[in-house]
Each structure stands twice: as structure tokens, then as C-alpha cells.
Structure 1
């Protein structure tokens, strides 16, 4: 079982799981290609314009900015002034609130961004809630060497990956104005307190 499988129960049965077996940071690096491949398989329940597909049951408010490749599934709410870019896949029953930004992110069923959130280069499991202002950062601007180096299950994982936000397990809750530093792996049902910081970087 991969790290992604252990954190997201529906990964293997999803269109993503059928196409990607790498670790989370490698999957994210190819997110645009994955989304483009899935676009070609969608049915008439989606309104497709270029490389953007939105399910006909989803509500898109005026002022939302959607840049492809992008798939937004059934019964979602895409609020005013939110932004999608860099290759995003949104499962069913999700909410991307006002002023929120998703960059190169895969988001599973029932997850919600309240408003004024940033999520970069990440995989979000099912039934996750990000309260207002919470951030999942994707680049180690604070370090001379920003390459991925994280502590997971007592081991150090290293990669040449420069941009990776987080793998967030099913059922996590991230409080208002909290920050998840790049390279985080959050176990299912993790609770990050308001104003909290999660930083799993292994210092050299």
C-alpha cells in the first residue's frame, strides 16, 4: 500500500488511482497530465469548454476564475472570486469558497475550503475542512535548499521535488489561519488548531 492509499480510502477506486501509482509528490507533479487524460473520458453530464469540465449539477458563481486543465465534479459550489490553476481535479460535493485559490491540487468528495484559503500542489482526501484563512504552502522559501525532505513514520523521505504542499488524509480539520508548511503528510482525522503550524521538514 502506498502512502496515498493509506491516507485516502477512495484513492484506488477513483479515476486518479487508475492512472497514478507514484508517491504523492510525483502524482502532484503530473497533475495537469492526469486531469487532461481524465477529461477525454467524461460523459455528457459535464459541460466541457477547451480543457475545463464542470458537471451540470455544480454551481459556479460569477467572478470565479477557472484555468485548465480542470475538472469539477457533481454537486459542488465554486464561489465568487475563487481561483483554480495549474491542473486541478475536484470530486463531488466539494466547496471552494470565496477568495480561495487551488493550485495543482486534487480534492476528494465532500471537502471544503471556507474562504481566503491557499492550497498549492496538494492532495486532499475526503471530508476535509479548511477554515477561513488557512494555508497549505507549497514551496520552502525559508530555506536555501527547498527540496523535499520530510519525516514520515520515523524515516526521512528525500526527493528533488521543489513544489509540494501536503497529502491530507480523509476527515482532517485545519483551523482558521493555520499554516501547513510544504511537504506535510497529515494522517486521517488530524486536527490542526486555529493559528497552528504543521512543519514536518527534517532539518539537515
Structure 2
């Protein structure tokens, strides 16, 4: 389950939340810590670069936030980020530098690394999205199992990791592309530089540099210099 480790999923230099991951092996370990981390970090942010708006809400002065967006703290919105019309940020959210939170997109208990795009009708809850990850229109992270049991991370070889979490969406690595209309079920982990086909239902660990077509059909990406 090496794919699932923080060091193999994310470039921690591409998030203001780097220190949140200190001492953790798997990224989901930090989900319960996001709220307190934001409050502590927010209090240290430069007043020249960030403006405090309401309780535990820090927004970079260079960020663009639509007047119709709803934001409930604790939240940090990074430099040059864009929060569009009717975005719904429910709290415990870190929006990275240059990230896009789009029309009618909902965030809750998440870390979006720099340059992440969740631009059209997305739900992202109890999840971590790596640098330049992109979720296509209507794709979501489902964060609670239908039977309400604790989430277990599984791969196609039968390996299992008990997370101890009831709420766990998806851990999405750097440069991942999620196709439109896809559902990432609780406990999904997608390795960096991978693509998820549109209209997919994913519920497993997807290796790095892969193309997920459907369950049981995951192809390795060819290198650019290969024919």
C-alpha cells in the first residue's frame, strides 16, 4: 500500500498546510486535525497578505471571492484563489494558492493543494486533493458508507488498512484528472498523475500513472517518448 502514503501522493511544498502532515504516514490521519490547524495557522498569517473576515475565516487579499459564495469558518483561502458564484464552503477547508472553487461546489473538511480545480458542481468532503488535481463537472467524493460502518482502504491485491474513520472521502494525488460525473466512493485513493474515466464509480486504490477505465480495468500510462 505504498501508493497510499503521503510521501508518494503529494508534494508538500505545494500547500500552506505542510505542517499539518508532520508525523503522519497516511493522509487521512490528518482529517480530524484540519479545524484546529486552520485556527492556529490563521492567527499567524500576515495581515498585509490576508484579511480576516468573520470568525476563523482568513482570505488572501489577492483572492477573488464572489459575493454570492457562502463561507463558514474555519477556512483559509490562499493567494490568487478563485471562489465562484454560489460556492458553499461549510468549514474546515484550506483552499490553496491559485485554486478554483466553482459554481455550486461544496467543500467540507478538506485540504486543496495549490492550483487544485473543483470548478463545476462538485462535492468534496473529508478529502485531500493534491497539487493541480482537477475534478470534472459533477464529480464528487462520497464520504460516508451506506451501511455507516468505518471506512477501510483496500487495493486490488486484497490488502486492507483500517482507518477508524466513519467519514472519509478520497485522497487524490498530484496532477490527477477525475472525469465528469464520477463518484469517488469512501476510502478511494488515487495515485499521482492518474486519470479517471468520466462516469466512473471508484472504490479502491489506483496506482500512480494509471488510467482507470472501470473496475478491474486499470491501464498503465505510456511514457511520452513511447509510441
Q: TM-score of the superposition, structure 1-length normalised?
A: 0.91
Whole-angstrom CA distance in 1 between matches of 2:35 and 2:170: 17
Runs (4+) of structure 1 moved beyond 6 Å?
Answer: none
Whole-angstrom CA distance in 2 between matches of 1:105 and 1:153: 26
Helix, strand or coil: the match of 2:145?
A: coil
Q: Deviations over 1:21-78 (max 9, x none)?
A: 3232220121111111111110021011220000001111121000100000000110
Helix, strand or coil: the match of 1:47?
A: strand
Q: Report which of the two structures shows the higher radius of gyration computed on alpha carbons.
A: 2
Report if aligned partners of 2:70, 2:89 keep a CA contact under 8 Å in 1.
yes
Q: Deviations over 1:76-123 (max 9, x none)?
A: 110011111230111100000000001100001111012110001001
Long gaps (5+) in structure 1: none
Partner of 2:8: 6
Report if aligned partners of 1:12, 1:18 keep a CA contact under 8 Å in 2.
no
RMSD: 1.8
Partner of 2:197: 193
Whole-angstrom CA distance in 1 between matches of 2:14 and 2:190: 21
Whole-angstrom CA distance in 1 between matches of 2:198 and 2:110: 23
Give the superposition deviation at 1:159. 2.5
Report if aligned partners of 2:81, 2:99 keep a CA contact under 8 Å in 1.
yes
Helix, strand or coil: the match of 1:114?
A: strand
Report if aligned partners of 2:20, 2:34 keep a CA contact under 8 Å in 1.
no
Q: Deviations over 1:149-196 (max 9, x none)?
A: 121484210132100111100000011110000111100011111101
Matched pairs, number: 198
